[in-house]
Amino acid sequence: MKKQFLTIITIFIIISVVLLMFFNINKKPKNSILNLEDEITLKADRLGFMWTDIVPNDDLNFKWIRTNTAPFRRDYLEPKKGFYDFSITDEFVRRAQEKNIHVLATIYPYPRWEQPDKDRYEKENFSLDNLSLWAPPEYKGPPKDLSSYKRFVKALVERYDGDGIDDMPGLKIPIKYWEIINEVESGYINSRKGKINQWFFNGTPEEYVQILKTSYEAIKESDKDAFVLNAGMSPIPTNDVSKLYHEFWGKVFEKGEDFMDIISVHSLKDDKVENFFQNLNRFYGKYVKNKPIWITEFSTKSIDDCLTGIITALNHANKIFLVSYFKMEGLPEDALTTALRDYDGNPTELYFPIKTLGLLLGNAQKIEKINNNAYKFYRDDSIIFALWKQSKLPEGINGKFIKISYNGSYEIIDSKDYEESTKVQYLVVTKDLEGFLKKFKNQLKNREDIEKMLPSKYYVGKKDRKEKKINKKAIPFFGIEEDFIQENDYASLSTEDIKNLGVGIVRTHGGPFVWENIEPKRGTFDFSLTDNVVKQAAKAGVTLLASLWPYAMWDQGNDESCRVGGKIDAMRGRIPDFRCMPKDMEEYRRFVKEMVERYDGDDDFGNQLISEEMKAIIKKNPVLFWEIDNEVDTGDNVEHAKFFVGSIKDYVVLLKNSYNAIKEVCAECNVVIAAPAGNIKSYYDQISSYRGDEYFDVYNIHVPVDDAQREISALKGKPIIYTEGVECGTLSLLKGILTSALLNVDSTIFCMALEKAKVDSKGGLDKFDSSKIGKYFLLYQDGSKTPAYHAAQNIVHELTGFTKVQQLMSGDINSFKVFFQNKNPVYVYYLGEGATSREYSPGFSDFVVKDLFGNEKRSNNMIMLEEGNAYFIEAKDKYNEMQKHSKQKDETKTTEKFAVTDKKICGDNYCTIEEANSNSCPQDCSGRSCGDGICDEVETKELCPQDCAV
């Protein structure tokens, strides 16, 4: 009997199992969603991005995406009343779920067919109108037929609710969160202040409540498990619009509190997160205190505030959506600041900090606030402390733990080795330290493994960045080197000396703008030295060309391969001896932006303290020219130390990062490439081969112009600045300046003022060119001025403001004609190499001649040309001079020949001397100077036989 009973029981169990299997196989499940969390790496559930491209979420492993203005808008999905086309949202949802990304869908209830009245509903004047799907609808008035709108919402929610009924084909991850429009108060505020109704909604608070109520009822009828969010509230203002803001939202909360499950808020720009939540509770506490809060737009005005703001906000908000991933034209300043990819798709300096934060804190199950700068996050079997500016370890940390910096660098340390940091750092307490690190490292990826990434076709409307072109006239022609640093070993030009010299630009080659000087410790800035340099330049009335040296010892470390050798090092003691490309390029870019932002002259002076006096000085005297390093092409040399340890390819990487950082904060700033020490053509060909010509605005040369005229002439499309190589002698200085002008060089820096003469002015040396003094000095060691100073002062005085230079004669006598816009030409004369002193008649009568040092003498028709000197004559009439030249042959080396005629037939296509001097015949003389003795490129033998016959 017992045996029969067991048999019956066994048969019953088998039949039950078969029946259960049968029903489970054939039963259509209410919810057909797959559990992808087990199949795909767990994404950060607390973090998301705004807009419609899934690239950011997939790249950073963020779980959430907020669509904002597209694609869940009625004008796309219901092009005709009652006719639904969900193709655009289907495609978006499919792409999102392929990457396990969850959607917060923002509904816009404005169909074109219902709102044809343009006069009533103003066309959107939106900064991102060019971005197609991004821009809100043109018409933003409340639905005229709420019942029709309700049917649309029900159909929309039903398609994506995941219940297996009327779902999108292939739906795997349902949409459970629906936000109703965005920042609806802005149009109301603008309309009340008499402005065009811009932004996202053109209506009253009562009208919005009606939309919210209708949407809520429709959503819940289709999916009782769905959640409804109010339109994201723009940051609570404290200015003159605050009354209107609270008037709008006060009425919405009062009448519509029951129609929102989650409170959607925006924390942007200058908002401090703690202050934001205090104000939210102060004004709307009774409505929001028992509801989850999502920050559906988050950005800050500074990078540091971004990290600390997110950490602080996670203690208040369930989810945080970052505003921007790619930099794009038209985005507001805060969105550009906190973007994670630059215009070219490369990671910005915020990329790794945000990725690090997401990996560590994005799935925290519990958060505790320790103090304003320290928070405790519980995640699985680990505890992660996020803190900054903390001198002591929080309680609960003993022995070994993992320390992870804000940008992802990590190490296992002992509690006794903890050091305070002004930057965010994460301290991880877990049982398996090595296992945690291995997983973290694999998720973070190495910097070199991060690929360039551009917006996909779904991230509509990326515009090419428009660079502000440099104005050549903005570069003063005459300049010197001077670092404005007073030193015991050297005499230094005073601001009065520089002002009297008359130059317009000063190159600070000697070292003030050095990363090490300005940021001696990571995150600790000291702008006192560079502030003084900018102040002194302002007093001297000059433009600064700031030489930027990218070296800091705390960044370089103790890598001996980066240490420079050489017996002679002009920069020793001024810049670090370790000169590799920055190890932490993100830190370097952050430093560059902080420095350039301080000095670019706009209303944003960066994040460091600055006096009102300094702000006023910078506003009037901004630093807009930045030179990146110096002579980076120098190879191994036992005599001279390198300025840069690395290849040309390495330098292009440095140049690109410098350029992008500078342009990010100062579009009008000009980046000057490091000049080559060697062959100009070879250097710039190498730079171009690595696409480096995209990352500078101004060519830079050092090789003496006489040695490289052909190479300099080949530099096209950008201004040229000559920062070294023009000897600061007397006559040699004039020769270099005139040759530079003939080659259309835009600016000439002469006199390397970082070296000073170490001989006393009373030492009996009466010629500056003496080998005992050298070639570059403006001052003797006792501070008195060398002959070179007086020569430079006179040259600058005579030639400032010139528009063109022509050489008239070469050989034993060299002569030049210098043209000006608003004064008579100046003629310059000096003897050629080997020529002896002689009298010479320039062809003028009763004129004043000045020599190289400013000594004046009146003459009737002759001047005495002496060796080592030069002579300047300002004259109105060239005709007599030209007649004189035509009759006078140089007895030795002159190469000039003139065929002079005074016959004037205007329109004969010949430019006679009389026509040229009187400007009376532009038909013949426009575009050339026929009759000046020079056969120019635009002249031919037929058009100007006077000049081109030979």
Q: 332 and 390 share a domain?
A: no
Mean pLDDT of 225-238: 94
**Residue 833, domain CATH:** 2.60.40.1180
| pLDDT for residue 48 is more than 60 | yes
425 and 313, same structural domain?
Answer: no
330 pLDDT band, cuts 50/70/90, is low
pLDDT at 528: 92
Work out the average pLDDT over 837-856. Answer: 90
Q: Residue 485's domain is classified under what CATH number?
A: 3.20.20.80
- What pLDDT score does 701 carry? 93
Task: State which of 772, 787, 802 marks the end of a domain.
Answer: 802
Task: Indicate whether 881 belongs to any domain.
Answer: yes
Tell whether the model's pLDDT for residue 11 goes beyond 90: no
User: What's the Cα-to-Cα distance from 348 to each of 126, 353, 654, 661, rounded to whole Å?
Assistant: 26, 10, 14, 9
Residues 635 and 559 reside in one and the same domain = yes
Structural domains of the chain, count = 5
Residues 794 and 818 both lie in one domain:
no
Q: Which of 456-460, 673-677, 714-718 has the highest mean pLDDT?
A: 673-677
**In terms of domains, do 667 and 562 share one?**
yes
More confident of the two residues 708 and 390 = 390
In a domain, 643, yes or no: yes
Where is mean pLDDT largest: 191-205, 296-310, 415-429?
415-429
Residue 387 φ then ψ, to 5°: -150, 160
Of the residues 782, 802, 822, the one at which a domain ends: 802
Regarding whether 853 and 722 lie in a shared domain, the answer is no
Looking at residue 56, its pLDDT comes to: 84
pLDDT of residue 103: 97
pLDDT score, position 891: 33
Q: Tell me which of 127-136, 538-547, 781-790, 818-827 is least confident.
A: 127-136
Give the other-Cβ count within 10 Å of 708's Cβ: 19
* Distances 343 to 325, 664, 681 between C-alpha atoms, Å: 10, 10, 30
More confident residue, 326 or 262: 262
Whether residues 541 and 576 fall in one domain: yes
Residue 14 lies in a domain: no
Using the predicted structure, report yes or no on whether residue 329 has a pLDDT greater than 90: no
- What pLDDT shows up at residue 779? 77
Q: Which strands, in side-by-side order, build the sheet including 366-371?
A: 366-371, 374-379, 382-387, 425-429, 400-405, 410-414
Residue 246 DSSP SS3: helix
* pLDDT over 50 (residue 660): yes
Task: State how beta strands 747-750 and 478-481 pair.
Answer: parallel
Mean pLDDT of 228-252: 93
The answer on pLDDT for 470 being more than 80 is no
541: confidence class by pLDDT, cuts 50, 70, 90: very high
> Does residue 457 lie in a domain region?
no
d(CA 520, CA 554): 8
In a domain, 779, yes or no: yes
| Same domain for 208 and 342 | yes
Task: State mean pLDDT over 563-571.
Answer: 70
Q: Which residues pair with 20 in a beta bridge?
A: none
More confidently predicted of 476 and 635: 476
Question: Residue 896's pLDDT is what?
Answer: 28
Mean pLDDT confidence for 893-910? 39
Percent of the chain topping pLDDT 70 = 76
- Residue 521 confidence (pLDDT) above 60: yes
795 and 907, same structural domain? no
Using a pLDDT cut of 90, give the percent of the chain over it: 49
The predicted pLDDT at position 274 comes to: 86
What is the span of the domain harbouring residue 230?
Answer: 44-347
pLDDT at residue number 776: 53
Per-residue pLDDT band at 731 (split at 50, 70, 90): confident
Residue 574 domain flag: yes
Position 907 confidence tier, pLDDT thresholds 50, 70, 90: low
Give me the CATH number covering residue 378.
Answer: 2.60.40
Same-domain check for residues 578 and 672 = yes
More confident residue, 672 or 771: 672
Backbone phi, psi, residue 199, to 5°:
75, -130
Q: What is the pLDDT of residue 876?
A: 64
Quick one: pLDDT at residue 455?
62
| pLDDT bucket at 469, cuts 50 / 70 / 90 | very low
**Single pTM value for the model:** 0.51
Asked if residue 38 belongs to a domain, the reply is no
Q: Are residues 119 and 91 located together in one domain of the fold?
A: yes
> Does 501 lie in the same domain as 443?
no
Q: What's 789-830 look like in SS3? A: HHHHHHHHHHHCCEEEEEEEECCCEEEEEEEECCCCCEEEEE
Last residue of a domain, one of 769, 802, 835: 802
Say which residue the tokens 């608003």 belong to: 822
In a domain, 18, yes or no: no
Please give the residue that has the higher pLDDT: either 396 or 515.
515
Lowest mean pLDDT among 395-404, 751-760, 821-830: 751-760
End-to-end CA distance of the chain: 136
**Rounded Cα gap, residues 31 and 34, in angstroms:** 9
**436 or 918, which is more confident:** 436
What does the mean pLDDT of the chain come to? 81
pLDDT one-digit tens code per residue, 752-801: 543 443 433 333 333 333 443 434 577 776 777 888 888 999 999 999 99
Torsion angle (degrees, nearest 10) of CA 743, 749, 755, 761: 90
